[in-house]
Each structure stands twice: as C-alpha cells, then as structure tokens.
Amino acid sequence: MKAPRAADIRQGEGWMAALGYGLATLCVAGVAHLASVLALPHLASRDSFARIAQAVPHLHRFALLPQPAPGAELTPRQDPMLARAACRFDLAGGPVRLRVDLSQLDGLLLLSFHDRQGSTFYAMTDRGALRGRIDIRVVTPRQLEDIQAEDPDDEIPQDLRLVAPGAEGFILAGSLALDGADMESARGRLSLVACASEGDGGAGGG
C-alpha cells in the first residue's frame, strides 16, 4: 500500500469542508423556514384582522360587511350565500357584551369570536342558545374576576362569559341566504345581533 500523497489529503479535506458547509446551510435553512412560518401570523399586514379593520373603522358596533363579488372579496373563500357583519372590540375599555334577539330570528345564525391573529377562540350557531337566549360577555381574566366578585351567591349567571386570549379582536355574525332573493332578508337578520362595550365611557350599542 502506498502512503497517501499530500494532494489527496488536501482534496479529502476539501470534500469534508464542503460537506460541513452544506450541512450548515441546511441547518440555517431549517431554522429560517421554521422561524418564518412561526413569525408570519405576527407580521402579515393583510391578515383577517387588518381586513376587518379596514371595512369596520369603529369599535363595539356591528357593521355589515360588503357582499363579496368576483374580484372584490374582503376575505377569500367566504361563502357567497352568507351575509356577514363584524364588531371589532378592545377590552381595554371594559368587557364587551353581545346579545341576539332570538324571538325575531328565523334561519341560520353563525357567531364566531376571533383574536388579534384572526383565530377563532369561540364559535356557535343559534342552535347553541341557552334557554332561548344568546347573551355573551367577552372579558379579560381580570374582568372575569371582577364580574364574579359581584355575582350574587344564590343565582346562576344568565350570561356566558368568554375569556378572550388578548384585548383586541373581532366578532363575526353570519346569516345564510337560502337563495339570491333571500340575501336582503339575510342581511336584515343581522340587525338582531348587538354588540356593546360595558366600559365606563362605553359608547352605544348597535
């Protein structure tokens, strides 16, 4: 067996170095991939929260969202047969209360509660109403403690308390049109849903 020549050794070291740099590149790529996937929900500027904020400038009051049309969709892949209204909230000013007048309602009503990233933290339909009513308070953990401290000991609370994951978010109400002619009524049914801030200076409902 011949002794390895100096050139062979140098070449071997070159391959080892290339392999090392290749592996290092893959490691960096993996970290960059994971970091970007995890960071996107916090960085995206046209997420659902931003789109709702663009359509509904005010807080604590439901506003009808524009009916989607080809080339004009506020949020993609929404059901064209669904009329929608949104109420943006900020719990810094106090809990937010949502009430639905179910006596007037016929047809399907959807309610979903979204955090700052647009994720749904609670959802229900009119079928989920307790004792024929929908009365929901969206609260921070601190506000829940305050409310519970004021609860009478001998009564079951009549409202549902939802602890929001953050102070900001939005509530979506949806009403299904059974055909094209029903769309106006479906939009009208959304006026049965009201949202209001219970803060000290909390302005109006609607």
Partner 1 sequence: MGPLLHFVSKSILVALAGAGLGLLATWSALERGASLEIVEAGPWRAAPRAALREADPYTRAGRARSGEIPMAPAEGLAFFASRDDEGAPLDARCDYAIASPVPAARFWTLAPLDAQGAMTATANGRMALTSAQIVRDEAGRFEIVASRQARAGNWLALPAQGPFMLALRLYDAPASAQPAAAARAAMPSLRKGRCA
Which of 63, 85, 134, 177 touches partner 1 (CB under 8 A)?
A: 177
Binding residue (CB under 8 A) for partner 1 from 60, 61, 97, 114: 114
Q: Does 80 contact partner 1 by CB under 8 A?
A: yes
- Cα-trace Rg, the chain: 27
d(CA 99, CA 129): 11
Q: Are 185 and 177 in contact (CB under 8 A)?
A: yes
Contact between 19 and partner 1 by CB under 8 A: the answer reads: no
State both tokens at 134: 């929908």
Question: Least distance (Å) from partner 1 to the CB of residue 14?
Answer: 12
Report, in Å, the least distance between residue 34 CB and partner 1.
8
- Cα gap 168→83, rounded to integer Å: 23
CA pair distance 206, 195, nearest whole angstrom: 6
Chain positions contacting partner 1, by CB under 8 A: 21, 24-38, 40-41, 43-44, 46-48, 50-51, 68-71, 73, 75-81, 108, 110, 112, 114-115, 117-125, 127-128, 165, 172, 174, 176-180
